[in-house]
């Protein structure tokens, strides 16, 4: 991550308090990159704020979560085809991967997590493009 994020500009996330918290915990655990991690945490821009304050749709229901907003804003992107489909499952699979001793199984779990993270990231990119087009 540190190799991919430059020193300037905003970093778009969905639900910044969670992401900022993870970055701060990483900074506390790893002193060497702590300055860079804290800098990233300070530059987060929360896409969720748009859907809380400015863009509402009845199909969101009572939630502005990414899983509620995405099917309305970018319906072609779906999590159902993935082996890991939500944040709770991510946490479970992560824990399994960390303790897994079989390297093939560890790799399989890693692929599932990367696929989920890739879709989460692409979802924010596509939603940003849709919002820019409004």
pLDDT digits (tens, 9 = 90+) for 70-106: 999 999 999 999 999 998 999 999 999 999 999 999 9
Domain layout of the chain by residue ranges: 1-46, 61-134
What is the pLDDT at residue 9?
Answer: 96
Kindly report the pTM of this predicted structure: 0.84
Contact between 77 and 119 under an 8 Å Cβ cutoff? The reply is: yes
- Beta partners for 46? 13
């Amino acid at each position: 991550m540190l190799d991919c994020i430059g020193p300037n500009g905003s970093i778009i996330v969905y639900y910044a308090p969670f992401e900022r918290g993870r970055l701060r915990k990483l900074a506390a655990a790893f002193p060497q990159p702590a300055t860079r991690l804290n800098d990233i945490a300070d530059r987060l821009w929360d896409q969720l704020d748009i859907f809380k304050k400015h863009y509402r749709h009845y199909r969101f229901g009572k939630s502005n979560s990414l899983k509620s907003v995405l099917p309305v804003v970018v319906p072609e992107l779906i999590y159902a085809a993935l082996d890991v489909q939500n944040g709770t499952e991510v946490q479970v699979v992560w824990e399994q991967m960390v303790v897994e001793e079989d390297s093939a199984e560890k790799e399989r779990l890693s692929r599932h997590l990367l696929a989920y993270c890739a879709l989460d990231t692409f979802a924010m990119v596509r939603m940003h493009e849709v919002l820019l087009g409004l």
